[in-house]
Amino acid sequence: MNKCWMLLIGLCIVFGTSASADTQPDDARRAKALLERAVEHYREEGDRALAAFSRQGVFLEEDLYVFVVDGEGVMLASSGPSHALIGRNIKPLLDDRLKRDFETVLSESEEGIREGEYRWVNRSTGRVERKKAFYQRVGDHILAVGYYLGRPGEAEAKALLERVTEDLKENRHKTLNAINWLDPRYIQDELYAFVIDLQSNQFLAHGYDLNLIGKDFVSLKDRTGKPIGQDMLDLVDDQPEAQYAYQWRNPVTRKYETKQAYLHREDDLLIVVGHYSNLDSASASQPK
């Protein structure tokens, strides 16, 4: 098995994670088309094509660009932010988990187009964001094109809330265990669910911080001292659904950000899923 698969993009591609709906189909179409064009050009020109991939030209389309890695893990070409890595071995950028993922997932020898997700700095926002890459092996080289997926928002959060609610109705015990085992069906990048027992007011499940399981929800406060546990319980006391904004640590960026949470009361359970946003941190809770 060619080592170039295991060394492809030391840019943190993550395989085996839960797949999210592609909310940018036009970007996906453009990225795939650019890769197909680059592969055709490389097959015609060989390594002479690397120069074209490394300059501002026909293989740079706004925020889309081609990059190439060889079988030893060396970046050979890029007209994007990774241009500075040309000539460098990116193998040291791979952590142990990624190495295992490459060995497991990229063990086939076919040269068709594959895809995966990774995180990279978006120059337009200055943030590390999710990116989806289409890539193809040609000989001992890998050609790839990626595009930014953006952060999960209201639609994704509500969809996850609905999925968790339905699964809890079908099999409560199994679903709670799955959330606590960090099952990828209930995690979407920075989105996750947590479930509260309304009789004991304790955490039954949490898709990120397992230390909270069994802890008292009423006394929970955010970094500003806001009594978020009691506030959420008050909101669903007389209505089945509500929204609530508070400050919480984003498990992906590791920074405290404003989280817009969607609450749903189902029998004796409170189910919550929220997305991180740029709302003002002083945003007040508001019913749906």
What confidence tens digit (pLDDT) does each residue in 144-198 have?
A: 898 888 778 899 999 999 999 999 999 999 999 999 999 988 988 889 999 999 9
Q: Domain for residue 283, yes or no?
A: no
Say whether both 138 and 55 belong to one domain.
yes
Structural domains counted in the chain: 2
Say whether both 119 and 85 belong to one domain.
yes
Burial of 90-119, coded b for 16+ CB within 10 Å and e otherwise, reads beeebeeebeebbeeebeeeeeebbbbbbb
At which of 119, 148, 177 does a domain end? Answer: 148
Q: Domain for residue 59, yes or no?
A: yes
Say whether both 139 and 158 belong to one domain.
no
Residue 160 DSSP SS3: helix
Q: Domain for residue 222, yes or no?
A: yes
Say whether both 111 and 199 belong to one domain.
no
21: pLDDT strictly greater than 50:
no
Q: Looking at residue 96, what is its pLDDT?
A: 57
Say whether both 118 and 167 belong to one domain.
no
Q: Domain for residue 285, yes or no?
A: no
Q: Read off the tokens for 268.
A: 């004796």
11: pLDDT strictly greater than 70:
no
Q: What range defines the domain where residue 134 resides?
A: 3-148
- Residues 16/122, Cβ–Cβ less than 8 Å: no
* CA-to-CA separations, 74 to 68, 69, 94, 130, in angstroms, rounded: 9, 5, 13, 23
Q: What is the DSSP string of 86-103?
A: BTSB-GGG--HHHHHHHH
Number of separate helices (H) and strands (E) present in the chain: 7, 13
Q: Looking at residue 46, what is its pLDDT?
A: 94
Geometric angle at alpha carbon 258, from 151 and 243, rounded to 5°: 90
Q: Looking at residue 262, what is its pLDDT?
A: 98
Kindly state the percentage of the chain with pLDDT values over 90.
Answer: 51
Average pLDDT over residues 11-32: 59
Question: Which of 96, 95, 115 minimizes the C-alpha distance to 105?
Answer: 115
Say whether both 136 and 161 belong to one domain.
no
Q: Domain for residue 288, yes or no?
A: no
Q: Read off the tokens for 118.
A: 């990774």
Least confident of 1-10, 92-101, 170-179, 228-237: 1-10
Q: Looking at residue 14, what is its pLDDT?
A: 38
Place of tokens 């071995």: 89
Q: Domain for residue 38, yes or no?
A: yes
Q: Domain for residue 287, yes or no?
A: no
**CB-based burial label for 57 (10 Å; 0-12, 13-18, 19+):** exposed
At which of 95, 129, 148 does a domain end? Answer: 148
Q: Domain for residue 282, yes or no?
A: no
Amino acid at residue number 112: G
- Bridge partner list, 120: 129
At which of 86, 116, 148 does a domain end? Answer: 148
Residue 138 pLDDT grade (very low, low, confident, very high; cuts 50, 70, 90): confident
pLDDT tens column, 61-114: 988 999 998 877 789 999 888 888 899 987 776 555 544 544 443 445 556 888
277: pLDDT strictly greater than 90:
no
